[in-house]
A and B are shown apart, each in its own frame.
Chain A
Amino acid sequence: MPTIQHLLEKCKNMVSKPDSRRAYLLDVPQKYRGITGYFSNYIPEEIIAAAGLYPMRVIGFWDTSKSPQRSLFNPVCSFVRDVFLAASCGEFSFLRNIVFPNSCDSLRVLRQMWEYEIKKPKAYTLLHPINTDDSSVQYFTHQLKAFAEEMKKESGVYFTDAELKKTIDKYNQTRDLLRQLYDIRRTNTFLTGADAVALMTAGLILERDEYNSMLRQIIDEARQNSRDDKNLKRIMIMGPLTDNYALLDKIERFGAIIVDDDITNGSRYCSRDVEMTGDLYENIARRYLFADPSPTLNSSIKTDEQAFQRRINGLDLQGVIYINQKFCEPHVHNYLAKLEILKQSGINVLMLEIEHAGLDVSERDLLRIESFIEIAGRN
């Protein structure tokens, strides 16, 4: 059995090193009919996997050294610009297809540029709703069924509901295990926050059975080796896709521990399961529309505020670091919306705007982080 260090190293490499990731993906088991890339938490991996395709979330850090220097205009967020450059360099040529969400304007720009300029692999758009009422559930259910048909045609695997159920079960297991990990991290500092985020992010790439078994081993060891370092400042991170291990590691080296998050590749990814009885597609629609919402979703403002308030109340936080990608508009608005709640709760907030591809954190930001952590929790 691999050691925890070995597993975490694998996760970190998967997230931060394009070569390691590519090597792993090129070795994806032959039982799959190809790799389907996708963006956002609103693309159901369950359906892709049921069709015999290997779902791979597009995260950052690709090799753009062969860049043809084509780029998108500046107000488009840095993540999207990085992906466009990587796609222009052929970094996604090993994918069978790619699925776009109906999400923020930056991703819509990328979708259009994909159609015009990148062209391969073939792109789909899953037109999920931004509203969360009954008619949105009905509409999304219809879209999911159409999406399943597309994936079936793509792979030639015409899966049944019983087969879909098995796949849903696997993904429910992942979500359940990740939630257990969150519970542990609230009181147990066995895992650093940076390692935990690397572990969660790697799950967006790793083969599902391997990943679930990895999570079980880490959870077991964390429970058996519980630690509670009270000298560390308790920090929560918020933001969009946050896959910059180096940044999170640096935050914690200043004497902090990231005990929770509200990030795309974190708690929002694993909240709520898909129900297993009734219409499975409607259940998937409900799970995705009623899980902890992304700022691009029109969820109930009051319910969200109350849920967020309850969550931070139970964490004994000493500070929140909002890590936004430059020009990510939904998260600027989310930050502004949540700032008031955090201020009213007496929690200090640091906003960091980073270039997504920037593995190096600027000296200025490091100084800001250091002084923020130093004063965190003093008032």
Chain B
Amino acid sequence: MESSKSILAKIFAEYYLSGTQAKKDKQPVAYVTAFTPVEILRAMDVVCMYPESYAVVCSASGKAKEMIHSSRMGSFSQDLCSYSLIDFGTEHFGKLPFGGLPEPDMLIAANNQCLTTFLWFKLLAQKKNIPLFVIDYPVAIEDQDSVREYIARQYESLIDFVKQHTGHNLNTQKLNEQVTYSAKACDLWLKVHELNKHAPIRIDAYKIVDALFPMVAAKGTKMACDYYEALVSEHQHRNDVSSADSVRLLWHGYPMWFLAKKFPGDFDEKFQIVLDDYTLWWNLDYKSGTNDIDKLIPAYSNTYLNWPIYKKIDWVSELVKEYTIKGVICHANRSCRRALADIAPLRKELSKSGIPAVIIESDMANPDFYSKEQVNLRIESFRDTLRT
């Protein structure tokens, strides 16, 4: 079996090359937000590029600070989402990692994670004078038929929109392939996390964070599935990552992309982050629905950030039980307003069930909001709490 490292390198190269190649071949390129149903777009031969994922690359390569400065947003750079600021910075920044993303022909935004992505893409559409399509997911679907119908009609409009701007039709066979691989990748992605369900820890949590890229950029591909299969196979028998009696911690929320190991604090064998629930936000449910388009309705409506508060609390509490977690570190990420809603309530609810939690205020991509000393101090005092 090919190694996961080798497959990941291929996925990375293929993704970034596909953008450049698309421009050469005059194939349409769309910028999409993280939870856009790209299965539809790819089944219409549209090359999808993720500015958010690119912002992660820029942050991880240490360029975030300069790029945010280049965004020329002045005092707003303190207030807006750092992914969007990095993206606005690309326009005026010299040497971009991987040469930057190709110019888009269209923009597709969804509000199932936040309103920011819509506002950001709307501004981009205006600046670049290119068409924008917004998929509105008003709420996580429970039994609301009207919401389901509304989203179904929007998918029809999306297909018309893409056809109008590219001349391409929807290839239903390709769509089926995409949805099937997306669903399979989600199952495998869950297995990757479950490597750490019980002691001993089989894979470092930051390595799971690093493994997220194919879930985003290679969604609906066989290669993504191959990658996760290889990852599971390589780690399932490992037992050298931590000692069996380490204190198991859960990281709640976004990682800090600018840190080499994605999480702050000097964790040793005795205290280990076994899971970041953020990476499980990509574990969408493709199983409900009568046909491929129908399956994409609940999958993309029921995203974590679209859930009501008690569902979020219940879900994290369940993970705490399943993964025998002893303490939770909550990242209050100033870039993501919607993710902030559950931080204080979650801490309160966990505390009721005897699980201590600490809140760290920082940012997912902008190191300006990260104070190493303060964060370490807080984590250290949290470890003292756990020791007692």
Interface residues on chain B, number (Cβ under 8 Å): 43
Complex CA distance for A76 and B334, rounded to whole angstroms: 9
Q: Does A295 contact B (CB under 8 A)?
A: yes
Q: Does A296 contact B (CB under 8 A)?
A: yes
Q: Does A329 contact B (CB under 8 A)?
A: yes
Q: Which of B5-13, B111-119, B194-202, B283-291 contacts A (4 or more CB under 8 A)?
A: B111-119
Q: Does B212 contact A (CB under 8 A)?
A: no
Q: Which of A11-19, A126-134, A158-166, A256-264 contacts B (4 or more CB under 8 A)?
A: A126-134
Q: Which residues of A contact B344 (CB under 8 A)?
A: 73, 113
Complex CA distance for A128 and B139, rounded to whole angstroms: 10
Q: Which of A27-35, A49-57, A103-111 contacts B (4 or more CB under 8 A)?
A: A103-111
Complex contact A105–B150 (CB within 8 A): no
* Pick from B76, B80, B123: contact of A337, CB under 8 Å: B123
Q: Does A23 contact B (CB under 8 A)?
A: no
Complex contact B134–A76 (CB within 8 A): no
Q: Which residues of A contact B115 (CB under 8 A)?
A: 103-105, 108, 130, 296, 329-330
Q: How far is the CB of A227 from chain B (nearest CB, A)?
A: 38
Q: Which residues of B contact A180 (CB under 8 A)?
A: none
Complex contact B134–A112 (CB within 8 A): no
Residue ID in chain A nearest B131 by CB atoms: A301
Q: How far is the CB of A108 from chain B (nearest CB, A)?
A: 6
Q: Does A74 contact B (CB under 8 A)?
A: yes
Complex contact A129–B79 (CB within 8 A): no
Given the interface contacts A115-B310, A330-B119, A333-B123, does A135 sit within 8 Å of B337 by beta carbon?
no
Complex CA distance for A108 and B342, rounded to whole angstroms: 11
Q: Does A95 contact B (CB under 8 A)?
A: no
Q: Which residues of B contact A353 (CB under 8 A)?
A: 75
- Chain A, residues 340-370, CB within 8 Å of chain B (1/0): the string is 0000000000000100000000000000000
Complex contact A130–B136 (CB within 8 A): yes
- Chain B, residues 332-362, CB within 8 Å of chain A (1/0): the string is 1011011011111100000000000000010
Q: Which residues of B contact A128 (CB under 8 A)?
A: 138
Complex contact B134–A301 (CB within 8 A): no
Complex contact A127–B147 (CB within 8 A): yes
Q: How far is the CB of B231 from chain A (nearest CB, A)?
A: 33
Instruction: Report, as a range, how many residues of chain A touch the other chain.
Output: 35 or more
Complex contact A298–B136 (CB within 8 A): yes
Q: How far is the CB of A244 from chain B (nearest CB, A)?
A: 19
Given the interface contacts A109-B337, A112-B308, A327-B79, does A295 sit within 8 Å of B119 by beta carbon?
yes
* Pick from B116, B120, B139: contact of A105, CB under 8 Å: B116
Residue ID in chain A nearest B84 by CB atoms: A333
* Pick from B81, B119, B132, B332: contact of A73, CB under 8 Å: B332
Complex CA distance for A301 and B115, rounded to whole angstroms: 17
Q: Does B17 contact A (CB under 8 A)?
A: no
Q: Does B122 contact A (CB under 8 A)?
A: yes
Q: How far is the CB of A300 from chain B (nearest CB, A)?
A: 10
Q: Does A228 contact B (CB under 8 A)?
A: no
- Chain B, residues 135-150, CB within 8 Å of chain A (1/0): the string is 0101100000011011
Within 8 A of A (CB), among B71-90: 75-76, 79-81
Complex contact B132–A329 (CB within 8 A): no
Complex contact A73–B343 (CB within 8 A): yes
Q: Does A143 contact B (CB under 8 A)?
A: yes
Complex contact A333–B149 (CB within 8 A): no
Given the interface contacts A115-B308, A129-B150, A135-B157, does A301 sit within 8 Å of B79 by beta carbon?
no
Q: How far is the CB of A210 from chain B (nearest CB, A)?
A: 35
Q: Does A75 contact B (CB under 8 A)?
A: yes
* Pick from A75, A104, A127: contact of B139, CB under 8 Å: A127
Complex CA distance for A133 and B157, rounded to whole angstroms: 10
Residue ID in chain A nearest B342 by CB atoms: A112
Complex CA distance for A131 and B139, rounded to whole angstroms: 14
Complex contact A109–B340 (CB within 8 A): yes
* Pick from B111, B138, B310, B334: contact of A74, CB under 8 Å: B334
* Pick from A103, A136, A146: contact of B136, CB under 8 Å: A136
Q: How far is the CB of B352 from chain A (nearest CB, A)?
A: 13
Complex contact B345–A117 (CB within 8 A): yes
Complex contact A75–B334 (CB within 8 A): yes
Within 8 A of A (CB), among B258-310: 308-310
A residues neighboring B (CB under 8 Å):
72-76, 102-106, 108-109, 112-113, 115-117, 125, 127-131, 133, 135-136, 138-139, 142-143, 146, 295-296, 298, 301, 305, 326-327, 329-330, 332-333, 336-337, 353
Known: A115-B310, A116-B309, A138-B153. 8 other contacts (CB 8 A): A113-B341, A131-B134, A138-B150, A296-B115, A301-B126, A305-B126, A332-B79, A336-B123
Q: Could you give 24 example pairs across A and B, Cβ below 8 Å?
A: A72-B340, A73-B343, A76-B337, A109-B338, A112-B341, A112-B342, A113-B309, A115-B310, A127-B138, A129-B150, A130-B115, A138-B150, A139-B146, A139-B147, A139-B149, A298-B122, A298-B132, A298-B134, A301-B126, A301-B132, A329-B81, A332-B79, A332-B80, A333-B122
B residues neighboring A (CB under 8 Å):
75-76, 79-81, 111, 114-116, 118-120, 122-123, 125-126, 132, 134, 136, 138-139, 146-147, 149-150, 153-154, 157, 308-310, 332, 334-335, 337-338, 340-345, 361
